[in-house]
Amino acid sequence: MSTDQAAAGPLAGIRVIELGGIGPGPFCGMILADLGAEVIRIDRPAEHGTRTRHPILHRGRRSVTLDLKNPVGAATALRLIDTADALIEGFRPGVTERLGLGPDVCQARNPRLVYGRMTGWGQDGPLAQEPGHDINYIAVAGALGAIGPADGDPVVPLNLVGDMGGGGMLLALGIAAALVSARTTGRGQVVDAAMTDGTAIQLALIHGLLASGRWTDRRASNLFDGGAPFYRTYRCADGLHLAVGSVEPQFYAALLDVIGLTDDPLFAAQHDTAAWPRMADGLGEVFATRTRDQWAAAFEGRGACVTPVLDFAEAAAHHHNAARGTTPPRGSPPARTRTPVPRHAVRHSGARPRDRQPHRGGPRGGRARRRHHGSSARAARRRRGPIGVMVPAPGTRPTWAVTVPEAAGARSRCASLGSVRAHGRG
């Protein structure tokens, strides 16, 4: 790997084809692009020439519009896949096989290909063909039923547990591991990532506690589910909240010291579960006497594991996040959107991550044409052939074409595709 490639990230030189989908698949593609991989997303014809609805999730890749139900479009996709190290698809089981793009076909042409499959229920099982969303997968995996108040309904934890953590993140890890294997064996693998399985593996600690008798299968009755008075949120005088995570004895002691309850006998036995409800009531009364920010200032630097609960805008402006550049506040360069933009989450020594926010490209945009004929496109052509170069298609209709190689290093030819869109590459 050259110095320039290393600076782009540990996956520089890796090409990934992403069959356009929603949620966890694009999240996986974003992670791999953030790590330096060249990700080319194949979008549906209905999305031709439009702005992406997910400018952050779709960052860092170029986009090709293809009708995969058309034999010409599917054949063109195969030629793109021939040049790839990995593929991401998030259709129901059997869909890519019916399109002629299944793993058997793709790996017969490209034996080193890592074929990543993202589903909710998995490739097999009684529910494999059933529709679903994050909430359904985490419900069946047991996670949703464990989150929420004891006397209330389960609380939806956004779509973080199934879609992102148990889905896209786990698929990215599986693809990265299979890429390492392919480098040593010369053979790719099929990576089956199911959100039900991914949710279940995230519950490894809880299942271990349950098996050892240290967890009760009842909401808000345990250490990490809001049952412990020292691991939950509290409402302050202004209606805002604090997050208290004073689990270890030294942090618990610091908590009591700041709020002036060190000598209160009610709080002497931290793990007396019978006293937890009364302890929570007592802490709630104390925290209700000041505003959130007053308490945050009181706990600053005290080592009690107490922090303010922030909204998205507040989180972007928080001094720690600002210092690390985690989520630049809205309107600040180099962000090109009005909302905070999460930066690359994993930071590698020697890498210089680029802010590759999506730009609109298309057949009418000279800017897109110049971008694809720029230095990054030339480097791509030298490496594997001219991918993403827009040229006029025959005929009078305002269609465009992309030049793709029949195979890595093979002679190039053109196929009418519709459009190439630049999603922040360059």
Could you tell me the pTM of the whole model? Answer: 0.82
From the list 61, 32, 21, 306, the residue with the least C-alpha distance to 178 is: 32
Dist. CA 111–CA 84, nearest whole Å? 11
Residue-level pLDDT at 329: 53
In the chain, what percentage of residues exceed pLDDT 90? 69
* 307-313: long-range contacts, CB 8 A cutoff, minimum separation 24: 307/242, 307/243, 307/245, 308/240, 308/241, 308/242, 308/243, 309/233, 309/240, 309/241, 309/242, 309/243, 312/339, 312/340, 313/340
Dist. CA 165–CA 195, nearest whole Å? 9
Identify whether 163 is a catalytic site residue: yes
Dist. CA 110–CA 349, nearest whole Å? 32
Residue-level pLDDT at 347: 73
Q: Which of 133, 318, 348, 373 is catalytic?
A: 133
pLDDT tens, position by position, 127-159: 999 999 999 999 999 999 999 999 999 999 999
142 touches 105 (CB < 8 A) = no
pLDDT tens, position by position, 395-419: 322 233 344 444 333 323 233 333 3
* Partners of residue 88 on adjacent β-strands: 18, 116
Q: To which H or E segment does residue 173 belong? A: helix 170-185
- Alpha-helical (H) ranges within 203-248 are 204-211
Q: Which of 34, 67, 85, 163 is catalytic?
A: 163
Q: Which two tokens stand for residue 385?
A: 């052939």
Is the preceding omega at residue 334 within 30 degrees of 0, hence cis? yes
120 touches 90 (CB < 8 A) = no
Identify whether 241 is a catalytic site residue: no
Q: Which two tokens stand for residue 332?
A: 């600040």
- Lowest mean pLDDT, pick from 24-33, 329-338, 346-355: 329-338
403 touches 391 (CB < 8 A) = yes
